[in-house]
Structure 1
Amino acid sequence: MIPMKQTVTIRRAGALDIWGKPSFSKPTMYPCRIDASTKRIVQANGQEVVATANILMKELVALGVSDQIVWSDELHQSFTKSPLRISIIRDFSGKPLFTQVVV
């Protein structure tokens, strides 16, 4: 299988405050694999954006595009991003094996 030696913290977006910014839930940590690379992708709305990492987490992880993903790299730089693309990788029976997030 794929080694999951890194971790990400996910903060789920909640209700909007009076300034229109979401409040975030208690952080949850997940083991993952992070492949950092920059590439240009097209979002579902047709907008072109630059993605900085591809995150692979085991099984199905509840995640939305308004949520925050926080992680640190080997140089101890901290990153906080919202998902640009979320995909579920399934086996032949339809069981979720991985959640793939592009940030």
Structure 2
Amino acid sequence: MDGALMAIIPLKQTITIRRKGETDRWGNEIGPPDIFTLKCRFEEGAKLTRRTSQQPGATQTLSEEVVSSAQVTFDKFTDVRLTDELLYTDESGHTRVYHPINITRTRGPNGKAWLTEVEI
């Protein structure tokens, strides 16, 4: 296979994107949604953040926060919008719905997008 046609990274998972259909002037969806599936790389994880706050005259207070995050990487320029819903089904068959938080595109020396990364 020609190297120019292959993705920069392996795209072994798929994700379904649900884009809102046509809306009326009040923002209510009146048309059918646009639903399509794309190949991607899905990486998820969780991190535990601990913070100790010390206030004068008080004992230490330890607070913990668990942040779950995921990143979806697509090949080249992919039309993903902040208003889309991303549906991912993992290996155990559980489907989760995500909403994009941040979308970035990595560009090559020629200015064309190499990757589209969506943080959810």
- Interval of TM-score (by shorter of Structure 1 and Structure 2): 0.7 to 0.9
Flag the 1:39–1:55 CA change in 2: closer, same or farther, 3 A: farther
Give the one of 67, 70, 77 matched to 1:53: 70
Query: Partner of 1:95 in structure 2?
Result: 112
The answer as to 2:102 corresponding to 1:85 is yes
- How many residues in Structure 1 have an aligned counterpart in Structure 2? 94
How much is the aligned-residue C-alpha RMSD, in angstroms?
2.4
Query: Partner of 1:69 in structure 2?
Result: 86
Q: TM-score, normalized by length of structure 2?
A: 0.67
More displaced 10-residue stretch of structure 1: 51-60 or 23-32: 23-32
Flag the 1:29–1:91 CA change in 2: closer, same or farther, 3 A: same
Output the CA distance in 2 between the equivalents of 1:99 and 1:39: 23
Query: Partner of 1:38 in structure 2?
Result: 46
Output the CA distance in 2 between the equivalents of 1:12 and 1:19: 17
Flag the 1:24–1:17 CA change in 2: closer, same or farther, 3 A: same
Give the one of 13, 16, 19 matched to 1:6: 13
Output the CA distance in 1 between the equivalents of 2:26 and 2:98: 20
Q: Is the 8 A contact 1:12 1:24 kept in 2?
A: no
Give structure 2 stretches of 5+ with no counterpart: 1-7, 49-66
Amino acid at match of 1:82: H
Output the CA distance in 1 between the equivalents of 2:32 and 2:47: 28
| C-alpha deviation, 1:34, in angstroms | 0.5
Q: Provide runs of 4+ in structure 1 moved above 6 Å.
A: none
Q: Is the 8 A contact 2:84 2:99 kept in 1?
A: yes
